[in-house]
Every structure is written in structure tokens, then in C-alpha cells.
Amino acid sequence: MALSRSHRRDEVNFWPGFVDALSTMLIGIVFLLSVFVLGQFFLSQELTGKDTALERLNRQISELTDLLALERSSNRQAQENLQLLQSSLTREQAERGRIQDLLAAQPGNQAAQLGEAQKALEAEKQLSARAQATVDLVNQQILAMRRQLAALEEALSASEAKDKEAQARIAELGSRLNVALAQRVQELARYRSDFFGRLRQVLGTRPDIRVVGDRFVFQSEVFFDAGQAVLKPEGRGELDKLGAIIADLGREMPPDLPWILRVDGHTDNRPIRSPQFPSNWHLSAARAIAVVEYLVTKGIPADRIAATGFGEFQPLDVANTDDAWRRNRRIEFKITER
């Protein structure tokens, strides 16, 4: 008896530890999903900011380029002025040398000639001094322009480096955004496939309900009488099944997944001109709206459903036969992106 009680006390209950581990794992999954949603939000904000910054940098680069061209033109003009002054100074110095040679070659009237030569020499000196001052001023202007040109080139290089960095960042963000969008598209395709599978199970194989591409197609006669847009009682029953499936699927989809149920109305190509429906567009749109309004009463969120009228302009069969007209009169359901 004593050994049996001792054995029961030594048994270990693993259940509380398993529950704690499972709770920790669920918390971690919820945290990761929250981080992903926040990351998507900040990523879109950062892309908008980068586009604005890139436009501002492009404007600054354009302004700096115009200013650089203006400074280069001014520098070229100053160089031309300097060359002109230097050539004038050279001519004056040559003239002064010629006068001095003439004085040395003529011994008579040296006093008068010397006075005239001294006057000419003084004039030449004054002209030379003015030319030298002008040359010095031009040199200073050229030096200042070169400093401005160096500063502009440095600013242009910095702007180009920032532009390259911004372009690389935008490319990286674009790549990340494309990956995220591709994941969203795959997720939406998985739910669309689930939607088709459940509808097939509920509705079975009926000749008036079929799948065309990525859409579930109901013949209009399932829901409406000829030329009317009021739901028949049996049509409401079919929409009840459809609404239940969509409501369950909507609760399973992530809140941030941009899905929407599109309800498309189509008619045949025979024109209708009644006081209530002036054209086939009016009839197809009214039928789509009637289906949407009924599904909203069955729990489908109004911001997750849309009505579209195509009239007779998207036929499945272009023949003008009763069978073709019957096939073209239809209501289509498609889960797509906003």
C-alpha cells in the first residue's frame, strides 16, 4: 500500500507545461503579424518621402548646373580680357623701347627730345600702371571665380552622391514592396481557390451554375424573371448559401488583405427599352445591385462588395441563338483586389 502511494506521487503532469508552450507560441505569431503590418505601413510612408526628396534633389541639381554654366562663361570672358590687356601692355613696352632707341640715335636737340621722351615715358608708365592694376583686378576675379567653381563642383558631386544613394534606397524599397505585393497576391489566390472549392461542395454540379476562369457564373434565370431585377424566392435561397460561404471566408482572411467580392451583371444582345430600364446597361446594373444589397443583409461587409453592370458587351457566346442568349444572361461572382 505504501509503495503504491509513493509511486503516484512521483508521476509528473506535463499538461500545464504544454499549455504554457502553446500560449507562448501563439503570442509570438501574433507579434510577428503585428510587426509585418507595421512594416508595410512604414514602408509605404518611406516611399512617399523618398519620392519627394528625389524631386527636391533633382531641382537642386538643375539649379547648380545652370549656375555652373554661368560661372564658366564669366571665367572665359575674364580670361579674354586678361589676354587683351597683356597684349596692350606688350605693345606699350615695345613703343617705349623704340622711343628710347630714337633718343640714343639722335645727338642734336637732345634736351627737347629728352623732355618729350620723358613725358611720353611718364604717360606710358601711367598707362602701364593702369593696365597692371586692371590685370591684378582680373586675376583676383578669376581666383574668386575658380573658388566659386570649385565650391559648385563639390556641391554638385555631393548632390549626385545623395541622388545615387536615394535611387539605391528607392530601388531596395521597391523590391521589398514587390515581394510583399506578390505575397498578398498569392494569399488572395489561395482564398479564392478555397472559395471556389466550398461553392462546388455546397452548390454541386448544376447546368445553370459553372466556373469560367476565375469567376463563378450563375444564369440570370436562377435569380430573376425575364426583363426584371427583383430577386425570386429560389434565387434568395441560392444567395443564402453563397453569403454564408463568403461570410465565413471573410472572417478567415487577414483584416489588411485588400479583397473584394465583385458582382457583375450581364445581359444578352437583344435591346430592352422599358420605362424602368432604358437600356441593357440599366438592367444589368440593377440586377447586380439587387444581389449586392441582399448579400449585405446576410452579413457581407458593404466595403467588401461591389456591383458592376456590363450590359451586353461581354458575351460568352457571340452567336444569335436561344442557347447563346441564355448563356450570356448571367450574374458573375469574383473575388479580386481593390
Q: Which amino acid is at 22?
A: L
Helix, strand, coil proportions of the chain in percent (round to 5)?
A: 70, 10, 20
Asked whether residue 1 carries a pLDDT value surpassing 50, the answer given is no
Q: Residue 101 corresponds to which cell in the numbers above?
A: 632707341
Per residue in 195-236, pLDDT (tens digit) is 555 555 544 555 556 777 778 899 999 999 999 999 999 999
Classify residue 336 by burial, with Cβ atoms within 10 Å: 0-12, 13-18, 19+.
middle
Give the predicted TM-score (pTM) of the model.
0.46
What is the average per-residue pLDDT within 112-118? 67
Lowest mean pLDDT across 148-152, 229-233, 238-242, 322-326:
148-152
